[in-house]
Chain A
């Protein structure tokens, strides 16, 4: 078993983008199986009007888990898997900008998924629907909405962490690591789509993260329901949750869709042998839709009783956001129009996806009309609408991508006939499954049983039959790809005569992708080194030269630590469970330290194209991009506080509950620590070791003092003769949550300094090393800025 032990180690530790891509892809397909089994159980239940196979409570858990898994653990990760593998190739890069961070993203994703499934075994999965709506979620008993919801919150936090790190990674890669001369205008559609996707991820997910924090607080803090009950929302049930969730949720539906558009945009040109019609406009349309996607979320709240003015506003923006999709659809249809299409499986899937997308899009426009929406909201019509988009367009296109790129990933062809059968059965099964739902205009979503005289039975039975056709057809995919892995005919570098960079290297590509990084001349021709200049279609030499190891054990260890920590935080009632929490911290810090100390060589291309960020080093750009997501996270947290506060009937006068002196002292401390942090940078630049060490120690001392003061204040509040939670539930919860999250950030900063000081003593951080100090400073100052806002908002107003 020597070999398999080695293989296991390889897959656990590999940071190479292609390996991580494979891991993502395979894992997402496994979750697809789990989500699919849940779905088929539900369909089996609904083929019969009375509760039978699934009791209502189980049904509700299944429907919730199905939605969350399919959207967050299948669709996006499948796209990210393909992107992991192919974006660096298509950019002419050797890897992503931060390979270990990429591996960390994957492991966080996997452990998050494990946590999600685990909820079934720790008292029941969440049963709220994927939108985790209140007030079902937050009732007076923390377990009322399924004990598992707390654990699910933790699992979702892992997922958000994974996605945020991933989007930082992709953004930096795409901006800083393009092959020399490669401009954005040279991009094919997949890189474009992924760029827009990861940018949306960066800005949308922090709002969800903040929402999860609020949700968790409402379920576990002594004062239940501080944020999300109706009285905190101006008597509109959980308006705050609606806003925070859908602000993330609408961009999220594009996040799962755009990669599919990108894949279609790769497949159509390759198999029609003509460029994508109006490719430039497709790219611009995606950008426009992405921008608009952040201001349409209110169309999910038309009937919640929000003010008519905002409803009108959202109707207009929603109509606006559908226009770019018209452009995209027209481009695809025009590309296909009268084309001589080579009818292989990938293009079949792509064409099928376009067709289903049209249906999904048109029905979406219906829903955007307020009048119709009043009738249709919460019915199976909506279910049909978004499944046409997410499964019909999303999943089918990504499967097309899987077939398209399988030869590149494995070096072998899949079986074309089985693949075509897979497509045919999927397409038929899909329509038999979802088309009837357009006619279930009165049947509410998320119900497990109904009475026979509703007349819903025949359509439901038809849908169930379609569901099983669709579901079983997917086994063909697994069988086909599994078998072809060994027995497929060798593919050669470019079986489809594709035009993009990935087809210029061998199948599968060597660890570092290219012997010589291709260069793009300003006229768009490509130079592949060694005088070999020409078209991409010919297949090129690639060096299997020496390369440094890309294995690192730390990403998985860090992810495990985070997993144990969050599990410990959420699994017991009341939380926390120290038997998990403490090992989590230990493992996490161990992983973090190992990660920091490891000398890891990032494979780099030669001089890369890095417009418009030429002047800023890669890692620093990464830190800044990450901070952009933090801005949104804290912005939403503070906004939630403001929301609760403006809707609260009373609020304690200033200086009565939270003493100004505490806040002021801590403000001065933190400002001073920012000064020492920036002095540390100045010393590093001037090469003054003693100055550097002294400044870092000063920053550490001030940060510690800050936390100490904070702890004293918390202690004092908690031990006051009148219980703060009983008497001031809202001020108490908002205060502890906001300052608590901030305190965690300060603590993380202290950990960083704890790591920097010993190295500074060893004389690192001069010359190039000063960047590290700079990165730390960026983070630390950001945490300071958050406090600059917390202080007046909590103590002075």
Chain B
């Protein structure tokens, strides 16, 4: 068999990290005295990090040709633009 893809070890490590981060998320919301904005931002940041791990290692995007990432990044950029501007229309200056 030709050697291709990542080793099972890597998959398991990534999985362990995903579980760990999720546990961290559950811990985070129980911490006292954290500003809500901070919690929200952190949780979304952690979700992005988890998603990145899945994309790069489970979907093996890191081994695909670079232009493929562009296809996906464009999609992410487009939605982000849509959402940010939609909110901007309502809240021109952050309150």
Residue numbers of A with Cβ under 8 A of B are 203, 207, 233-234, 236, 239-240, 243, 247, 294-295, 298, 301, 306-310, 313, 612-616, 621, 624-625, 627-629, 631-632, 635-636, 639, 642-643, 646-647, 654, 660, 664, 667-668, 671-672, 674-675, 677-679, 681-682, 685-687, 777-778, 781-782, 784-785, 788-789, 791-793, 796-797
- 67-95 of chain B: CB within 8 A of chain A: 67-68, 71-72, 74-76, 78-83, 85-92
Nearest CB of A to B78, in Å? 6
Q: A628-B71, A639-B86 are in contact. List 5 more A-B contacts (CB 8 A).
A: A243-B85, A627-B72, A678-B58, A789-B44, A796-B26
- CB pair A789–B47 under 8 Å, yes or no, is yes
- CB pair A792–B85 under 8 Å, yes or no, is no
Nearest CB of B to A694, in Å? 13
For residue B78, which residues in chain A have a CB less than 8 angstroms away from its CB?
203, 294, 632
Q: Is B8 close to A, CB under 8 A? A: yes
- 47-75 of chain B: CB within 8 A of chain A: 47, 50-51, 54-55, 58-59, 64-65, 67-68, 71-72, 74-75
Enumerate 23 A-B pairs (CB-CB under 8 Å) in ascending A order: A207-B82, A247-B82, A306-B90, A307-B90, A307-B91, A313-B85, A615-B64, A624-B71, A628-B71, A628-B72, A635-B82, A636-B82, A639-B83, A664-B26, A671-B22, A674-B18, A675-B12, A675-B15, A677-B58, A679-B8, A685-B1, A778-B59, A788-B51
Across the interface, A307 reaches (CB within 8 A) one of B28, B74, B88, namely: B88
- CB pair A635–B79 under 8 Å, yes or no, is yes
| Distance A771 CA – B77 CA, assembled complex (angstroms) | 29
Nearest CB of B to A238, in Å? 12
> 1/0 per residue B8-21: CB within 8 Å of A?
10011001001100
Q: Which residue of B lies closest to A627 (CB)?
A: B72
Given contacts A671-B19, A782-B59, A784-B54, A792 and B44 within 8 Å (CB-CB): yes
For residue A785, which residues in chain B have a CB less than 8 angstroms away from its CB?
50-51, 54-55
- CB pair A635–B90 under 8 Å, yes or no, is no
- CB pair B11–A679 under 8 Å, yes or no, is yes
| Distance A203 CA – B64 CA, assembled complex (angstroms) | 21
Given contacts A207-B82, A616-B68, A778-B59, A647 and B1 within 8 Å (CB-CB): no
- CB pair B71–A625 under 8 Å, yes or no, is yes
For residue A309, which residues in chain B have a CB less than 8 angstroms away from its CB?
88, 92
A interface secondary structure, majority: helix
| Distance A671 CA – B25 CA, assembled complex (angstroms) | 14
For residue B75, which residues in chain A have a CB less than 8 angstroms away from its CB?
203, 628-629, 631-632, 635
Q: Which residue of B lies closest to A310 (CB)?
A: B89
For residue B92, which residues in chain A have a CB less than 8 angstroms away from its CB?
307-310
- CB pair B54–A647 under 8 Å, yes or no, is no
How many contacting A-B pairs (Cβ < 8 A)? Answer: 160
For residue B25, which residues in chain A have a CB less than 8 angstroms away from its CB?
791-792, 796
For residue B59, which residues in chain A have a CB less than 8 angstroms away from its CB?
777-778, 781-782
Across the interface, A203 reaches (CB within 8 A) one of B4, B15, B74, B88, namely: B74
For residue B6, which residues in chain A have a CB less than 8 angstroms away from its CB?
682
- CB pair B8–A646 under 8 Å, yes or no, is no
For residue B26, which residues in chain A have a CB less than 8 angstroms away from its CB?
660, 664, 796
| Distance A678 CA – B95 CA, assembled complex (angstroms) | 44
| Distance A612 CA – B67 CA, assembled complex (angstroms) | 7
Across the interface, B79 reaches (CB within 8 A) one of A301, A636, A668, namely: A636
- CB pair B43–A792 under 8 Å, yes or no, is yes
| Distance A233 CA – B47 CA, assembled complex (angstroms) | 26
| Distance A624 CA – B90 CA, assembled complex (angstroms) | 34
- CB pair B68–A613 under 8 Å, yes or no, is yes
Q: Which residue of A lies closest to B83 (CB)?
A: A639
- CB pair A664–B79 under 8 Å, yes or no, is no
How many positions in chain B have a CB within 8 Å of any CB in the partner chain?
Answer: 51
- CB pair B89–A671 under 8 Å, yes or no, is no
For residue B11, which residues in chain A have a CB less than 8 angstroms away from its CB?
675, 678-679, 682
| Distance A635 CA – B73 CA, assembled complex (angstroms) | 13
Q: Which residue of B lies closest to A643 (CB)?
A: B86
Across the interface, B58 reaches (CB within 8 A) one of A306, A613, A781, namely: A781
Nearest CB of A to B11, in Å? 5
Q: Which residue of A lies closest to B43 (CB)?
A: A792
For residue B40, which residues in chain A have a CB less than 8 angstroms away from its CB?
797
- CB pair B65–A797 under 8 Å, yes or no, is no
| Distance A735 CA – B12 CA, assembled complex (angstroms) | 32
Nearest CB of A to B45, in Å? 10
- CB pair A647–B74 under 8 Å, yes or no, is no
- CB pair B54–A674 under 8 Å, yes or no, is yes
Nearest CB of B to A663, in Å? 10
| Distance A660 CA – B25 CA, assembled complex (angstroms) | 11
Cβ-closest 3 pairs across A and B: A635-B79, A307-B92, A306-B89
| Distance A203 CA – B77 CA, assembled complex (angstroms) | 11
Across the interface, B85 reaches (CB within 8 A) one of A310, A632, A671, namely: A310
- CB pair B64–A616 under 8 Å, yes or no, is yes
- CB pair A781–B74 under 8 Å, yes or no, is no
- CB pair B71–A682 under 8 Å, yes or no, is no
For residue A792, which residues in chain B have a CB less than 8 angstroms away from its CB?
25, 43-44, 46-47
For residue B86, which residues in chain A have a CB less than 8 angstroms away from its CB?
239-240, 243, 639, 643
| Distance A674 CA – B1 CA, assembled complex (angstroms) | 24
Q: Is B32 close to A, CB under 8 A? A: no
For residue B28, which residues in chain A have a CB less than 8 angstroms away from its CB?
796
Across the interface, B5 reaches (CB within 8 A) one of A635, A646, A685, namely: A685
Nearest CB of A to B65, in Å? 4
| Distance A248 CA – B67 CA, assembled complex (angstroms) | 24
- CB pair A631–B81 under 8 Å, yes or no, is no
For residue A635, which residues in chain B have a CB less than 8 angstroms away from its CB?
75-76, 79-80, 82-83
For residue A778, which residues in chain B have a CB less than 8 angstroms away from its CB?
59
For residue B22, which residues in chain A have a CB less than 8 angstroms away from its CB?
664, 667-668, 671, 791
| Distance A686 CA – B2 CA, assembled complex (angstroms) | 8
- CB pair B89–A781 under 8 Å, yes or no, is no
For residue B65, which residues in chain A have a CB less than 8 angstroms away from its CB?
612-616
Nearest CB of B to A568, in Å? 31
| Distance A792 CA – B21 CA, assembled complex (angstroms) | 12
Nearest CB of A to B31, in Å? 12
For residue A239, which residues in chain B have a CB less than 8 angstroms away from its CB?
86, 89-90
| Distance A430 CA – B80 CA, assembled complex (angstroms) | 41
Nearest CB of B to A796, in Å? 5
For residue A686, which residues in chain B have a CB less than 8 angstroms away from its CB?
1
- CB pair B5–A682 under 8 Å, yes or no, is yes
Across the interface, B90 reaches (CB within 8 A) one of A234, A667, A668, namely: A234
Q: Which residue of A lies closest to B88 (CB)?
A: A310
| Distance A627 CA – B59 CA, assembled complex (angstroms) | 12
Among B12, B75, B86, the most chain A Cβ lie within 10 Å of the Cβ of: B86
Q: Which residue of B lies closest to A175 (CB)?
A: B67
For residue A668, which residues in chain B have a CB less than 8 angstroms away from its CB?
19, 22
Among A207, A239, A629, A797, the most chain B Cβ lie within 10 Å of the Cβ of: A797
